[in-house]
Amino acid sequence: MEHSPYGFSVTLPVPFDTAVADATAALKAEGFGVLTTIDVQHTLKTKLDRDFRKYMILGACNPALADRALQAELEIGLLLPCNVIVYETATGQSVVAAMAPLAALGVVGANPALQEVAREADERLRRALAALESATSK
């Protein structure tokens, strides 16, 4: 698993559509549903007539965690849902990356209840990506 200051990612030896389906299933296994999907390739082509690689943004939400976060701080909805991206890097190879909830929470300040929710969301997203990585390395 690769890490950046704002997220973590795995590179998978699978086609884009498979990566989207597998990512959705791995998120579901960790209690996340995909509420929104943004097809960036289609949007850029339609709005700007610009060609772009296959790239999907998945708005993932774990309702129990979202509820706890909203109870702790009403305006945390500005940082919800957790974004997960899937993009094609080459034929038969894709990347799945997730936002790092702990990093996103850095803009909120010290709120122990939110920090606990972010920790749990972070752990669940990391497990989902690790499961993807493990499943494709067999």
Assign 60 to helix, strand or coil: strand
Count, in order, helices (H) and strands (E) of the chain: 5, 6
- Type and span of the H or E element at 34: strand 33-39
CATH of the domain at 98: 3.30.310.70
Write out the residue range of the structural domain in which residue 21 sits. Answer: 2-136
Per-residue model confidence as pLDDT tens digits over 87-132: 999 999 999 999 999 888 777 777 888 989 999 999 999 999 999 9
pTM beyond 0.75: yes
From CA 69, how far away is CA 113, in angstroms rounded? 7
For residue 29, name the pLDDT band (cuts at 50, 70, 90): very high
Give the total number of structural domains in the chain. 1
